[in-house]
Amino acid sequence: MAKGYQANRERQELIASLGKTLAKRAGFACEWCGGKEELRPWDHRPEREPDESCLALLCRRCRDLADGAPADANELRSLRNALWSDIPAIAEGAGRVLARCKEPWVREAIEESLMDDAMKKELLG
Ligand SMILES: [Zn+2]
């Protein structure tokens, strides 16, 4: 347990050290919806060594959505552009949230995006 705690701490420190780079990349706005509220790095692949491709700078609401908070279809439309990012934490992360919504436009948007086919298949089932 102590080891896990230590690893987690190192991970948090590493993520924090990437925060400035992320903020610059994001233009100080949420990389999913463009919002500005409580922007923080979000970890797309907690099982991996953190780097910029698996982190996204997200607002509070989008971090809640990433954690599974329910969203209505209208709100999710603001995440649609994120699917076009070439950064996995942005495109795939937003894709995962969007895929929970079963509306046809979500399916279409994911199919049209630049994600690889394996990822699309995983998202659309
Ligand atoms: Zn957001």
d(CA 97, CA 102): 11
CA of 32 to the centre of ligand 1 (A): 5
Check residue 111 and give left, alpha or beta (phi > 0: left; psi -120 to 50: alpha): alpha
d(CA 61, CA 43): 15
How many angstroms does the Cα of residue 35 sit away from the middle of ligand 1?
5
At residue 6, the pLDDT reads 82
pLDDT at 8 (0 to 100): 86
State in Å: Cα 48 to ligand 1 middle.
Answer: 23
What does the pLDDT read at residue 3? 67
- Rounded distance, CA 81 to CA 11, Å? 29
CA of 1 to the centre of ligand 1 (A): 33
Q: Which residue has the tokens 């400035």?
A: 20
- When pLDDT is cut at 50, 70 and 90, the band that residue 2 belongs to is low
The answer to whether residues 34 and 78 touch, using CB atoms and an 8 Å cutoff, is yes
Q: For 37-56, how does the pLDDT look when each residue is reduced to its tens digit (9 = 90+)? A: 999 999 998 888 889 999 99
Q: How many CA atoms lie within 13 A of 1 on its CB side?
A: 0
Residues with CB under 5 A from ligand 1 (ion): 30, 32-33, 35, 59, 62
